[in-house]
């Protein structure tokens, strides 16, 4: 009993209880934290006609989608499959915005058939859309204001070389196309993708968007995308959502006064809503002392959590069995036959073989990017609701690996 008290726990549920019940590696999400983050945005923008669309590519478990729906959120989707998942979760088509990049007009048309809001980010596709639908189906336009309010170039999508959005320098062309094809533009959108470190830079991008929006008379909403950053380590910078809310509400209400209509202001956060709610639990298989370092080999790898290897993301690691022991230096590596280093030269409370390591900020872009490389099963997912754990996705089995494979007769 006394050992338990020193263990790491999530909403009162200890890591050993979780691992005993569900095995590991394991993703665990704290629903209360998701709610708190959602409420932070709605209070920051309480003075505006706000709509939040949860960007479900961050974490697409249907229970998470249903939770955000219950809170009153809409859904931001980037593929027709995400649209279908949203409908399955019970979202009304008009509460789903479909913002794909580089897809065919056929996929856009499927979105139209479902009745969801369609957001187009390419003049060629817009032209085809106009030819097909004229003014019979409204459309949102994704513009690229070419701002970069943050640091990490790998996740910034607003810069001049970016493949996303229609450049604001093509506005004349856009206006001509809309006019001649009679396209009904009811929304304007931007998503710069970068972590917003500087609220004022973001506001400048928003101002550029509004400056173009004023020339379109049929708008119902303006969507400023996301890029809301959360802290990944102690003393890390995060987006000051309260400051952003105050400044943007003022700016937007002034715009609406001039425009003559109280438009809806929309955002589509993923990371902000779910990142900090998530934990990834795994066990230490072996410690390996080399001449250079001490490796902690864990029973997972880039197949389950690829962000550190894909774009150098930092995930804080706690020793779940011994969170407050003496710190020592470790290099935490996976079991995949590739270099899959989770953390180099990391101070972690003294590790014994068999200890459970807890990765923080594992809600966004973690399980969602997992795969079966090395024929490993994807982990189970658990949701903690009101301090009680619920299994929301089973661990995979050999059946899952073989499901779509077709045996043909062997060569004789
Ligand atoms: C990925 C994405 C988001 C969410 O971004 P976060 O950084 O997770 O908040 C929002 N909108 C669009 C169009 C996206 O592609």
Strands (E), 197-340: 221-223, 264-267, 278-289, 294-298, 317-319, 327-333
Residues pairing with 296 in the sheet: 287, 332
Residue 268 beta carbon below 6 angstroms from any ligand 1 atom: yes
Q: Is 337 a catalytic residue?
A: yes
Share of the chain above pLDDT 70, in %: 95
pLDDT at 202 over 90: no
Q: Is the CB of 226 under 6 A from ligand 1?
A: yes
pLDDT tens digits for 19-78?
999 999 999 999 999 999 999 999 999 989 999 999 999 999 999 999 999 999 999 999
What is the pLDDT at residue 266? 98
Q: Determine contact, residues 190/209, Cβ cutoff 8 Å.
A: yes
Residues in CB range of 31: below 8 A, 6 or more apart = 67, 277, 383, 384, 385, 386
- Name the residue at shortest CA distance from atom 7 of ligand 1: 227
- Cβ of 150 below 6 Å from ligand 1: no
Site to probe by mutation for ligand 1, drawn from 57, 145, 187 as the one with most ligand atoms within 8 Å of Cβ, is 57
DSSP for 25-44 reads SEEEEEHHHHHHHHHHHHHH
**Residue 363 has what pLDDT?**
98
Mean pLDDT across 182-209: 88
Ligand 1 mean position to 368 CA, how many Å? 13
Ligand 1 center–CA 223 separation, angstroms: 12
Write down the pLDDT at residue 304.
98
**Alpha-carbon Rg for the chain in angstroms:** 23
Query: Percent of the chain having pLDDT more than 90?
Result: 85
Q: What pLDDT, on a 0 to 100 scale, did the predictor assign at position 239? A: 87
CA of 273, closest atom in ligand 1? 9
Neighbours of 21 (CB within 10 A): 13
Residue 272 CB–ligand 1 contact under 6 Å: yes
Give 150's pLDDT tier (boundaries 50, 70, 90).
Answer: low
The active-site residue, picked from 140, 256, 282, 337, is 337
The values of phi and psi at residue 279, to 5°, are -135, 140
What does the alpha-carbon distance between residue 188 and residue 220 come to, in Å, rounded to a whole number? 9
CA distance 22 to 390: 10
Q: What is the pLDDT of residue 149?
A: 57
pLDDT tens for 224-259 read: 999 888 999 888 888 889 999 999 999 999 999 999
Q: Is 8 helix (H, G, I), strand (E, B) or coil?
A: coil
Does the CB atom of residue 205 touch ligand 1 within 6 A? no
DSSP 300-348: --TTT--HHHHH-----EEETT-TTS-EEEEEEE-SSSS--EEEEEEEE
Is the per-residue pLDDT at 160 higher than 70? no
Give the pLDDT confidence score for residue 388 in this predicted structure: 98
**Rounded-to-integer distance, Cα 62 and Cα 349, Å:** 35
Contact criterion met (CB below 8 Å) for 317 and 15: no
Q: Residue with the nearest Cα to atom 2 of ligand 1?
A: 55
The mean predicted confidence, pLDDT, of the chain is 94
């Amino acid at each position: 009993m006394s050992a338990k008290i020193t263990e790491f726990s999530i909403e009162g549920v200890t890591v050993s209880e979780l691992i005993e019940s569900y095995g590991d590696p394991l993703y665990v999400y704290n629903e209360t934290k998701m709610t708190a983050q959602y409420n932070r945005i709605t209070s920051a923008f309480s003075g505006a006609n706000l709509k939040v669309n949860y960007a479900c590519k961050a974490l697409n478990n249907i229970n998470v989608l249903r939770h955000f729906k219950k809170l009153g959120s809409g859904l931001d989707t980037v593929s027709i499959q995400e649209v279908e998942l949203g409908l399955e979760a019970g979202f009304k088509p008009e509460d789903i915005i479909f913002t794909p990049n580089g897809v065919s007009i056929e996929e856009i048309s499927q979105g139209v058939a479902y009745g969801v809001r369609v957001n187009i980010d390419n003049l060629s596709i817009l032209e085809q859309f106009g030819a097909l639908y004229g003014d019979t189906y409204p459309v949102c336009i994704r513009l690229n204001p070419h701002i970069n309010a943050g640091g990490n170039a790998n996740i910034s999508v607003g810069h001049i070389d970016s493949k996303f959005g229609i450049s604001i320098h093509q506005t004349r062309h856009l206006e001509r196309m809309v006019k001649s094809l009679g396209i009904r533009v009811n929304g304007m959108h931007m998503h710069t993708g970068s972590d917003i470190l500087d609220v004022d830079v973001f506001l400048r991008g928003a101002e550029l968007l509004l400056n173009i929006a004023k020339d379109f008379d049929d708008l119902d909403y303006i969507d400023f995308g996301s890029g809301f950053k959360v802290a990944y380590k102690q003393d890390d910078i995060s987006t000051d959502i309260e400051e952003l809310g105050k400044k943007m509400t003022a700016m937007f209400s002034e715009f609406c006064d001039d425009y003559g209509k109280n438009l809806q202001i929309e955002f589509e956060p993923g990371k902000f809503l779910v990142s900090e709610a998530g934990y990834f639990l795994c066990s230490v298989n072996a410690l390996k002392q080399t001449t250079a370092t001490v490796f902690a080999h864990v029973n997972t790898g880039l197949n389950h959590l690829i962000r550190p290897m894909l774009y150098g993301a930092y995930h804080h690691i706690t020793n779940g069995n011994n969170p407050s022991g003496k710190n020592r230096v470790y290099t935490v590596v996976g079991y995949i036959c590739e270099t899959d280093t989770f953390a180099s030269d990391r101070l972690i409370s003294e590790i014994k073989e068999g200890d459970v390591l807890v990765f923080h900020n594992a809600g966004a872009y973690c399980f969602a990017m997992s795969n079966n490389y090395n024929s490993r099963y994807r982990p189970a997912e658990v949701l903690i609701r009101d301090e009680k754990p619920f299994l929301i996705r089973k661990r995979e089995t050999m059946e899952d690996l073989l499901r779509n494979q077709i045996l043909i007769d062997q060569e004789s």
